[in-house]
Every structure is written in C-alpha cells, then in structure tokens.
C-alpha cells in the first residue's frame, strides 16, 4: 500500500501543482465558463477545485501507467 501511495499519488500530486500553476497563470478563475454559465465561486474555491481535478486526472494517468507496467501474466515484471 505504501508503494502505491509513493508511486502513484505523490508524483501525481507534484504534477498537479505544476499543472494548476500553468493553467491559472493563463486563465482567471472569474472568466471561466461551464456549460454556458459563469462559475460564481470565490477564486480560492476555483483554485482548490482545479487542483483536485488536476490531481485526480494525474493520479488516473499514473495508475494506468502502473497497471500497464504490471500486466497480469507478465513473466518478467520490471519491479
């Protein structure tokens, strides 16, 4: 379980920090539009939701990579 956390959640956390920094340096949270309506949230709430969105997306990508490296039935696993 510790290997899962250190191998998937920690790298995805670090990449989510970078992704959020890049995203919100280009887009202002008050200018975001979702399904035709403006998002009426305080800026800190938009930053928080954006971070968790990026973290979830990066964690899913890391889990897919982890799964593909450990395909069941593989004779010579890399780890």
Q: What is the pLDDT along the chain (79 residues), one digit of tens a residue?
A: 787 778 889 999 999 999 999 999 998 888 877 777 777 888 899 899 999 999 999 999 998 988 888 776 666 655 5
In a domain, 27, yes or no: yes
User: Structurally, how many domains does the chain consist of?
Assistant: 1
In a domain, 76, yes or no: no
Q: Which two tokens stand for residue 48?
A: 């928080």
Q: Residue 51 and residue 63: Cα distance in Å, rounded?
A: 18
Q: Is the pTM of this model over 0.75?
A: yes
In a domain, 77, yes or no: no
In a domain, 75, yes or no: no
In a domain, 40, yes or no: yes
Q: Quick one: pLDDT at residue 2?
A: 80
Q: Which residue segment(s) compose the domain that 48 sits in?
A: 2-69
């Amino acid at each position: 379980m510790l290997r899962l956390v250190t191998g998937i959640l920690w790298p995805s956390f670090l990449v989510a920090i970078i992704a959020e920094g890049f995203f919100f340096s280009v887009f202002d949270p008050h200018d975001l539009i979702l399904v035709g309506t403006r998002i009426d949230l305080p800026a800190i709430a938009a930053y928080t939701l954006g971070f968790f969105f990026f973290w979830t997306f990066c964690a899913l990508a890391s889990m897919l990579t982890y799964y593909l490296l450990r395909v069941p039935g593989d004779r010579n696993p890399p780890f």
